[in-house]
Structure formats: structure tokens, C-alpha cells
Structure 1
Amino acid sequence: MHESLTVIGIILIGMALRSCRRRIFRKIGALVYLLASGTVVYFISGNIPLSIASIFVWFFLPWIELGTRVRKLRLPLENHLNEERSPRLQQFPEAAHNIDELETLDFEHSSDYSWDWAGSAQHYSFFWHPEERTVVTVCLCKQTNVAFSYVTISSRACDGKIYRTSNFPFSSTLKNSPAVAWNQIACRHCSLEQSLESHKHFIKKKGGSFDNLMMPDPDILNEEVENDMRVQIRHNLDTGIITITDNGKFRYSFRGLCFLWKQFIKDMIRLS
């Protein structure tokens, strides 16, 4: 009973910390859960090194999916956006809020496109603001029973540099091309207006200037996304993250699987 009550007590402490508002306490709560799993192994085996090793096993669990589903993925080298009507937003309340805020900030809706990527249906609603020289994309994602939305803010400089700010909740599954400067912000950013301020500050931090930004062309926003994806795929081919298959598609190399594993670990730490 003593061992069981000890484990239950540790788990309850972890639950209490995970329910806190401050992020640091939630992260400590995740570590307490790991401690609970190590304690269980120690009580069963009486072996301290084994109990410590069991904690680190959690960080290698992503290899189960990497070695089964991801390793078998075959993705197209060329992917084209299809124009479609804006979907209903009942499943995406955060997206509806963002669109309302964009209209308040005088952003103009340009177009709606979608494509399928790695088994995920992705819809893009493009908004642009000529004075801000900025494009905001409200992205809706559906994969099996999971649905979520995020926002990406983009500005393009005359020298080819692309500045992006996004609250995409996961790390990128491909390396960004050298021309892209990526600014990751919290999933639950206070407001879109604050996200835009963060984007402007990020451009200045990277040595860019507003005067050097290009005016967006609302008629070719989908073509820019397609071209950016081609450039990114080409960069990942050059760096060995992906390789071309016999049927003209690409798959992740072993180096690419290791890259994805590091991205999984970053998400585990960041989202905990």
C-alpha cells in the first residue's frame, strides 16, 4: 500500500501543477509525471539505474510512429492549391474570431484555397492589407477526428527575404529554406493585433525594414504558396532530409526521421 499511495501522491502533485496557469508550473508538472513512471519501475525492480532509464524511454516513443507510419509516407513533389469556398467555421471558433478581428483591422479577404498534405486537409483563407504590406493566412486543418486552426503572417522583401510569424502549434516537419525567417509565437497569443506587432518587431530584429517590403498581389497569393513549397522541398532534398522515390514522390531519409524526432522532442518540451 505504501508504494501505491506514494505513486498516487506523485501523480496528484503532477495533476495540480498541470492545472496551474503559469507555464513554468505546467512544465514542472510534466516532469513530475515522468518521476511517477520512474518511481513505479523502481518499486517493481528495486533498480535505480533502470528506473532512471525508464524515464528517458518516453522521449524515444515517437520512433514507433516514425518507424511505422512516417517511414512509409510518400508525398508529392508538386502540390497545387485548389480554389474553393470558405468552409463553415463551427469546428474552428478561434478562426472565426481571427477573421472578425482581421475585418476590424481593415484587412481585405482575397481568396480561399485548399490542398491535402500528408493526410491532412488544409484550407487557406488569404487576407491582405496594402498599407501594412502584409498577408495574413487563416489556416484550417482537419486530420481524421482532429481539427484546429492557426494564423500565419507573411511579408516579402524586395531582396527575396520572406518574414513569417505564426502560431502554428507544432514544429515544422521540413526545414525552412534559407530565404525564410520564421517567428514562432504562442498558440494562444492575446490578439491578432499583438501578433502583427510581434511580426513588425521580428522584421526589425532580423535587419529588415518596412520600406523594403513588397506590396502583396492578391491575385497570385496561391502561386506564391505553391512556389514557396517547391523551394522548401528543393532545399530539403539538397540537405538530405528527404529523398526522391521511384514513382516521382519523396520520402523521409533516415536523417529526415532523426530531424522529425528532434522536432517531436521540441514539441513535447514546448507544449508540456
Structure 2
Amino acid sequence: MRETLIVIGLFVLAMALRSSRKNIIRKLGAFAFLFATFFFFFYLSDSVIVGLMGACLWFFLPWIELLTHVRRLRMPLNNRLRHRELPNPSFFPNAIEAATGMEEAGFEHVSDCGWEWSGMQQHFRLFWNPEERAIASVCLCEQDKVAFAFVSVTSTDAAGNIWRTTNFPFAPTLRCSPGLKWNHVPCEKSCFHQILKDHQAFLVRMKIGTDDLLIPDPEAMEEDIENEMRKQVDHNLRSGIIHLTDDGHFRYSKRGLFFLWGQFIKDMIRLC
């Protein structure tokens, strides 16, 4: 009975810690889940090795999704943005604040567009600021009744390199093309003014001056997004992460499934 109460107590503690809004406390909750799982298998087998193997099962849970869903995905090789109305803003409260912050920072609204990607509906609100030589976007994502929003600030230098600061909450599901440099900030940092400051500090850290940046063309912003995605797809085709199908789509290879598993593990450890 004592062992049962210990395991139950650890699971209850883990759920309580995971409900906190503070990142460090949520991470402690994740460790509490690992400890609870370890003791559950340890008390069943009276073996430390079995307990450790049981705790490691958490890291293999993504394979259920990988083998049952992701393996069957077919994604379009040439995806096109289409002008569309934004979804109900009540699902994306942070997006409204971000768009307001962009306008306060001198960014001008350009367009609203979107596409479907990997079963996810993505809606973009695009802004630009010629003085900052930057493009800002707030992306609204919907998939399987799950909705979230993230903000990005993007600059391009004269050599064609893309410098991006974003609070996207997950690890990328494809390898980034060589010319794309990510500056990932915590997803709880949703204030656009702070993200813009982080982007400016990122450029300074990378020794990229304002004169090194190109002034964005608002008429070509949607085309640039499409071209960037196609370059990323081509890069992943060459890397063997994905391969072409016979119907003009692509899917993840075996190597790609292991790559995605690694990305899942990163998300589990980072616990945004």
C-alpha cells in the first residue's frame, strides 16, 4: 500500500506542477512524471534497470503518432498561398495584441493569406516596415481542434540570407535551408515590441547592420514565402528527410521519421 501511495502521490504532484504558468515549475512537473513512472516499474519488478526502462518509455511515445499518422502524410510539392479571411479571433487572443503591437511599432498591414500544410490550416497576417527593413507576421494555426498563434520578424541581407526571430512553440518539422538563420525566443514571450527588440539584438549579435539589409517589397511578400518553402522542401529532398511520391506530393522517409522523433524529443525537453 505504501508503494502505491508513493506512485499516486508523485503523479498528483506532477500534474499539479505541470499546471503552473512558470516554465521552470512545469519542467519540474515533467521530471516528477519520470520519477513516478520509474517507481511504478521499480515497485512492480524490484529492478532499477526495469524502472529506468519504464521511465524511458515516455521518450518513445511519439512513435505512436509517427507510425499511425505522420507516415501516411502526403504534402504538396508546390504549395500556394491564397487570400482568405482570418478565423475567429477569439481563438487567437495573442494574435490581436501582436497585430496591434506591429502597427504601434510602425509596421503597415499588407495582406491576409493562408494555406494548408500537413493537415494544418495556416493563416498569415503580413506587415512590413521599410525603416526597420523587416517583415513582421502573425501566423494563426488550426489543426485537429487545436489552435495557436506565433509571431515572426524577418530580415533579408544582400547575400540572400534570411534572419528570423520567432516565438514558434515547436521545433521545425523540416530541416531549415542553409540560408535561413533562426533566433528562437520562448513562446510565452508574445509581446511584439519585445520580439522586435530581440530581433534587433540578434542582428547586432550576428554583426548585420541596417545597411546590409534589403528593403522588403510588399508586392512580393507572398511569393517570397512560397519560394522559401520550396527551397526548404528541395533542401530536405537532397538531405533524404523526405522523398517524392508519384502524385506530385512528398512524404517523410524512414530517415525523416527519425528526424521528427528527434524534434519531438527536443520539444519534450524544452517544454515551452
1: CA distance, partners of 2:99 / 2:179: 28
Q: 2:143 aligned with 1:143, yes or no?
A: yes
1: CA distance, partners of 2:20 / 2:71: 37
15-24 or 109-118: bigger deviation? 15-24
Question: Partner of 1:13 in structure 2?
Answer: 13
How much has 1:225 moved relative to structure 2?
A: 0.1
How much has 1:248 moved relative to structure 2?
A: 2.0
Question: Partner of 2:245 in structure 1?
Answer: 245
Cα distance per residue 1:218-268 (max 9 Å; x no partner): 111000000000100010111111111122211111111111000000001
2: CA distance, partners of 1:13 / 1:125: 41
How much has 1:11 moved relative to structure 2?
A: 2.5
Question: Partner of 1:58 in structure 2?
Answer: 58
2: CA distance, partners of 1:19 / 1:233: 37
Q: How does 1:27-38 map onto structure 2 within 5 Å?
A: 27-38=27-38
What is the number of residues matched between the two proteins? 272
| Structure 1: 5+ residue stretches without partners | none
1: CA distance, partners of 2:195 / 2:37: 38
Contact 2:139 2:151 in 1 (8 A): yes
Contact 2:151 2:190 in 1 (8 A): no
How much has 1:16 moved relative to structure 2?
A: 4.6
2: CA distance, partners of 1:116 / 1:190: 24
Q: How does 1:200-215 map onto structure 2 within 5 Å?
A: 200-215=200-215
**Secondary structure, aligned partner of 1:90:** helix
Letter in 2 for 1:160: G
How much has 1:96 moved relative to structure 2?
A: 0.7
User: CA separation of 1:77/1:205 partners in 2, compared to 1, >3 Å: closer, same or farther?
Assistant: same
1: CA distance, partners of 2:87 / 2:25: 38
Contact 2:123 2:141 in 1 (8 A): yes
Cα distance per residue 1:66-97 (max 9 Å; x no partner): 11211111111100000123333111111011
User: CA separation of 1:154/1:248 partners in 2, compared to 1, >3 Å: closer, same or farther?
Assistant: same
Question: Partner of 2:115 in structure 1?
Answer: 115
Q: How does 1:154-169 map onto structure 2 within 5 Å?
A: 154-169=154-169
Question: Partner of 2:234 in structure 1?
Answer: 234
User: CA separation of 1:135/1:66 partners in 2, compared to 1, >3 Å: closer, same or farther?
Assistant: same
87-96 or 222-231: bigger deviation? 87-96
**Secondary structure, aligned partner of 2:89:** coil
2: CA distance, partners of 1:140 / 1:21: 22
2: CA distance, partners of 1:26 / 1:180: 31
Work out the percentage of aligned pairs sharing the same amino acid.
47
User: CA separation of 1:16/1:61 partners in 2, compared to 1, >3 Å: closer, same or farther?
Assistant: closer
Q: 2:97 aligned with 1:105, yes or no?
A: no
**Secondary structure, aligned partner of 2:132:** coil
**Secondary structure, aligned partner of 1:80:** coil
1: CA distance, partners of 2:174 / 2:143: 18
| Structure 2: 5+ residue stretches without partners | none
2: CA distance, partners of 1:168 / 1:190: 10
1: CA distance, partners of 2:19 / 2:58: 21
Question: Partner of 2:184 in structure 1?
Answer: 184
- Output the TM-score relative to the length of structure 2: 0.95
Q: 2:127 aligned with 1:127, yes or no?
A: yes
- Output the TM-score relative to the length of structure 1: 0.95
User: CA separation of 1:3/1:17 partners in 2, compared to 1, >3 Å: closer, same or farther?
Assistant: same
Letter in 1 for 2:92: F
Q: 2:100 aligned with 1:89, yes or no?
A: no
Cα distance per residue 1:123-143 (max 9 Å; x no partner): 001011111111111101111
How much has 1:48 moved relative to structure 2?
A: 2.0
86-95 or 171-180: bigger deviation? 86-95
How much has 1:20 moved relative to structure 2?
A: 4.9
User: CA separation of 1:104/1:30 partners in 2, compared to 1, >3 Å: closer, same or farther?
Assistant: same
